[in-house]
A and B are shown apart, each in its own frame.
Chain A
Amino acid sequence: MLLVLIEQNGSKLGKAGRIAISAALSAKETHGYESVVGVLLGGSGTAEAAKEASKYGLDKIVYLEDPSLANYLAGTYSSILIDAANNLEAKAVMSLSGTTGKDMMPRVAQALDAGQSSDTLEFLPNRQYRRPMYAGNVIADIELTTERQVVTVRSTAFDAAVEQGECPVENLDLKVESDSQQQFVSFDSVDSERPELTEAEAVVSGGRALKSEENFKEYIEPLADKLGAAIGASRAAVDSGYAPNDWQVGQTGKVVAPNLYIAIGISGAIQHLAGMKDSKTIVAINKDAEAPIFEIADYGLVADLFDVLPELTEKL
């Protein structure tokens, strides 16, 4: 049995939850698990989200709704997942490789004496996994030599599950023991109308050629607004102080794979390409016709960004 952690969005299943389910179904088929059980943990609304999660083709949903689970903590969440994996005799435990999965799954692996495949892109026959290394410049096929296995999957590599059949939903009969070593203090959600960089359907990124923080506001933001896009930046732009660090796309920043990626004034250093080359359609605007970004762009426009961006924003 494969146990998959489903991260709901309040009382709703949400896109991330549906992607986790579809990745688990893909593992079931390729790696031959007899069944997949989805697990949801959280404060109020979890039961409702669990009910919704039961409609996407898994074999069973278990959930634990408890006020003490309202805020995620690695210690508490991982110990519940470990207990659930042991009680249900799971052979493998999986989650998405968002910050929650990245944070807690190695703890699960340690407790189950399992090897872990991080940021998995694909399940291969013979229980092998395909995953990126060197920021996606190398793709590795790996095998875990342990009896039990832990997997995190990259959400952009799987489509969201679609409704199909319904499965039983059960309350997880476990006691929540809160971790005294870790205490939740606060959460500041990014106060932005914009989608999250790693989840956005479109990303507009600027490079050093923008020349200033003000120009990011004046040229990049209106285009992003028009497209409902997230804003990204190259490391060079971040290092020059034009854009905050959490906008950085690349090997030392965030890895994105939107439907549309527009690179503006970005030359295309290896470290940047690593963070965006899996985007479906790539547009590059740069005045240097020799810039390496054009080698991977679907559509290139050789022009001064300050001349063409206002026009592009207007015509979209």
Chain B
Amino acid sequence: MKKILVPVKRVPDYETKIKVKPDGSGIQTDGIKWIVNPFDEIAVEEAVRLKEKLGEVEITVVSIGPSDSTEQIRTGLAMGADKGVLVLSEAEIDSDTAARTLEQVFKKEQFDLVLMGKQAIDSDANQTGQLLAASLGLPQATFASKLNVADDWSTAEVTREVDGGLETLKVSLPAVVTTDLRLNEPRYPSLPGIVKAKKKPLEEISISELGVDLTSKVKILKVAPPADRKAGIIVDSVDQLVDKLKNEAKVL
């Protein structure tokens, strides 16, 4: 049995208008719809496809955060993952503490592959996968748009979306692979999938049990909305538009 670990993060829906609290201490979370980080959803989908193709695969979905993160784990289970682990933490988790937590989760069970999103769409740091690979001494292949695991699971060939083109790497397994948009289109959980997910095992552990040092290396001092962009003018013809671009904006 081969084992895949898929970390999923609970994040605000990308269709949600994010508002900053007036005192700049964080964002307003009232009324926000929470989803699985879209890049992590792609990771779950890829793991399920590997299982469908290669069989004999067990997929563990792990989330770190408050108990509400159970919802995101259940989504992963409904998509086809086999079991869930919730690492309970009320404390703010950043890329570094997330990587250190995942390191402990990995070490408890040993996995053949870690598949995770290239970044979370809330903090946008794009660090956790690489930090995890470095701390576990595993090879990494980030920004994957194609993944081929060898039949014997000794290596994987990964095509990466990089500036200026597509790069293909071969990495030894276990490895940490982070997903980019083009890798796949995640399925919607089916109704039977959702029903089954409720019966799949979901283990809860507290972050302190894992012995993770939660000292953060990054302190957010204040947050603010971006500078407002003033609405411009409505032109009434193509001619006027071309004229404005040439003579006012001077971009032509």
Contact = CB atoms under 8 A, between A and B. Distances in A.
6 tightest A-B CB contacts, nearest first: A115-B217, A181-B139, A106-B130, A298-B232, A189-B165, A110-B134
B217 to A, nearest CB: 3
Q: A interface, by DSSP: helix, strand, loop or mixed?
A: mixed
B231 A145 contact: no
Interface in B141-197: 141-143, 157, 160-172, 175, 181-182
Contacts of B167: 72, 184, 186-188
Q: B interface, by DSSP: helix, strand, loop or mixed?
A: mixed
Contacts of A253: 181
Contact of A138 (B27, B38, B128): B27
A100 B45 CA distance: 26
Contact of B220 (A142, A270, A295, A298): A142
B124 interface: yes
Contact of B168 (A128, A138, A185, A245): A185
B18 A107 contact: no
Given A110-B131, A118-B124, A118-B127, A245 B226 contact: no
Interface in A293-316: 294-302, 308, 311-312, 315-316
Given A100-B163, A134-B12, A134-B121, A280 B251 contact: yes
Contacts of A105: 130
B156 to A, nearest CB: 11
A244 B181 CA distance: 10
B218 A99 contact: no
- Of listed A134, A180, A259, residue having the most chain B CB within 10 A: A134
Interface of B: 12, 14-18, 20, 27, 38-39, 95-96, 99, 121-128, 130-131, 133-135, 138-143, 157, 160-172, 175, 181-182, 215-226, 229, 231-239, 241-242, 244-245, 249, 251-252
Contacts of A182: 139-141, 169-172
Contact of A187 (B138, B165, B223): B165
A179 B219 CA distance: 33
Interface of A: 72-75, 78, 97-100, 102-107, 109-111, 114-119, 128, 132-146, 179-190, 196, 198, 202, 227, 244-246, 248, 251-253, 259-260, 269-271, 277, 280-283, 289, 294-302, 308, 311-312, 315-316
Contacts, number: 247
B134 A111 contact: yes
A180 B175 CA distance: 13
Contacts of B172: 180-182
Contacts of B175: 181
